Structure formats: structure tokens, C-alpha cells
């Protein structure tokens, strides 16, 4: 996979997005989202999630991929808005590696 297509793009995109804080909303869509606040950003994440679901149920893989990209971008804007660093999320995912979701759910219902 090329550099542009691997997972590192999420880290780079996060840096780009975070650097848009305080930028001109007329020049940057990300800055426009930040200026509208958390509620609007969270709403966009919800909308893009729904659009991804619709694409999955009614459209082809190309559209699912495109809607997923919109969702990931808006999720990164939400992380930057709420002070969540990607490394934190990667750490959580890394800790879960090798733990079956079914076993994890069973351990929660036992406690
Ligand atoms: N990856 C993205 C990206 N994905 C989607 N979008 C934008 O997300 C918007 C989603 O479209 P919608 O129709 O849902 O949104 P809308 O109608 O404009 O907004 P609302 O009316 O819902 O408020 C479009 O304007 C897309 O261009 C993105 N905008 C920016 N980026 C990245 O962020 C970087 C910085 O962008 P700027 O902040 O605009 O400089 C870019 O170089 C890209 O790498």
C-alpha cells in the first residue's frame, strides 16, 4: 500500500485538522465546523454515519468507501474539538488486540 493510502494518513489528517483551529471559516471548511461548535460537529459525525449505513445497505463498495472517508474526517474533527489525541484511540485499540469481542462482552456481564 502506498504512503498516501496507509493508516498514517489519519495521523496526518488529524494534524491538518487540529491546525485549522482559529483559521478563517471563509477559507477552511474545518475552521467553519470549529466555529459552529461541538454540537454541530457531533451532528455531522452522526449524519455521515447514517450516510455510511445507507451506502452499505443500498449502494456499492465505492460509495461505502467514500462515505467512510467523510465519516473518518468528521470524527477526527470531533476528536480535535474534544481534545482527544489519535494516539489515545490507537492505544485503546492496541490494548484490545487479541481480545475477542465476545469474551470481552461476557466478562462485562459477569461483573
Ligand atoms: N477530508 C476532508 C473532507 N472530507 C469531507 N469534507 C467536506 O465535508 C463536507 C461535507 O459535505 P456536506 O454536504 O455534508 O456538508 P455541508 O452541506 O457543506 O455542511 P452543513 O450544511 O451540513 O453544515 C464537504 O464540504 C466536504 O468537502 C472534507 N473537508 C476537508 N477534508 C480534509 O481537511 C483538509 C483541510 O480542509 P479545510 O479545512 O477545508 O482547509 C483538506 O485538505 C482535506 O484533507
Q: What is the tens place of the pLDDT at every residue in 30-49? A: 999 999 999 999 999 999 99
Q: Give 43-98 pLDDT, tens digit per residue.
A: 999 999 999 999 999 999 999 999 999 999 999 999 999 999 999 999 999 999 98
Q: Give the count of domains, the chain.
A: 1
For the chain, report the end-to-end CA distance as a whole number of angstroms: 42
What ipTM, to 2 d.p.?
Answer: 0.93
Atom of ligand 1 nearest to the CA of 13: 44
Enumerate residues lining ligand 1, CB below 6 A: 13, 16-17, 20, 28-31, 70, 73
Question: Which residue, judged by its Cα, is nearest atom 42 of ligand 1?
Answer: 16
pLDDT score of 107 more than 60: yes
Question: Domain for residue 19, yes or no?
Answer: yes
Instruction: Identify whether 28 is part of a domain.
Output: yes
CATH of the domain at 32: 1.10.287.1080
Q: Choose which residue among 14, 19, 22, 29 to substitute to test ligand 1 binding: the one with the highest number of ligand atoms within 8 A of its C-beta.
A: 29
Looking at the domain assignment, is residue 72 inside a domain? Answer: yes
Residue 61 resides in a domain: yes
Amino acid at each position: 500500500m502506498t504512503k498516501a493510502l496507509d493508516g498514517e494518513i489519519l495521523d496526518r489528517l488529524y494534524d491538518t485538522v487540529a491546525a485549522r483551529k482559529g483559521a478563517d471559516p471563509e477559507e477552511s471548511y474545518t475552521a467553519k465546523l470549529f466555529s459552529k461548535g461541538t454540537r454541530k460537529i457531533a451532528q455531522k459525525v452522526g449524519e455521515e454515519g447514517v450516510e455510511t449505513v445507507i451506502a452499505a445497505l443500498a449502494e456499492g463498495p465505492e460509495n461505502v468507501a467514500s462515505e467512510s472517508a467523510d465519516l473518518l474526517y468528521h470524527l477526527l474533527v470531533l476528536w480535535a474539538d474534544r481534545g482527544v489525541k489519535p494516539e489515545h484511540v490507537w492505544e485503546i485499540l492496541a490494548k484490545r488486540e487479541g481480545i475477542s469481542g465476545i469474551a470481552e462482552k461476557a466478562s462485562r456481564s459477569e461483573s
